[in-house]
Amino acid sequence: MGKKKGFTLTEILITVLVLAVLVAIAIPGFSKAKDRAAANQAVAYLRTIRTAEKMYYAKWKTYQAFTDYAAIKADLSAEVKAADYTFNVTTPSTTTFYARARKGSTAPANCTDSDTICLDQDGAWTGASSYKPTS
């Protein structure tokens, strides 16, 4: 009799086990990369909001408050799309403002809220998110 061709059950199980280990290693890295990309998008939107606030200030000598995407577009003429973060500027003054982004659908109340990235009128970054820029 000739030798049979094919894979044994043991070989198939070992292959499946190796693939399962590789997937288990890759998934957390993918999740972190996705979170980082969403935070980078939020940072870009905060820069856009800051620029729009500066332009608004140049015209009206005060900063504009907003709490939703429609107000950002209507009052600041800035395009910010709904994504993984919620944005707002509350209680601005004639000299200061904080643009805030918070992961999720809950609007950030202040810059110490978890997963919050904040940018002020001078371009300083604050917030409790580990993804906030350092400069």
Query: Looking at residue 77, what is its pLDDT?
Result: 85
Query: Looking at residue 17, what is its pLDDT?
Result: 95
Strand order from edge to edge, sheet including 116-120: 85-88, 98-103, 116-120, 125-126
Q: How far is CA 51 from the centre of its chain?
A: 18
Which residue matches tokens 């950030």? 108
How far apart CA 87 and CA 70 sit, in angstroms, is: 11
* Prediction pTM value: 0.81
Which residue matches tokens 């800035």? 78
User: pLDDT tens digits, the chain, 135 residues: what are they?
Assistant: 567 788 899 999 999 999 999 988 888 888 889 999 999 999 999 999 999 999 999 999 999 999 888 888 888 888 888 778 999 998 899 999 999 999 988 888 888 888 899 999 999 999 999 898 876
- Cβ atoms of 63 and 57 within 8 Å: the answer is yes
3-state secondary structure at position 15: helix
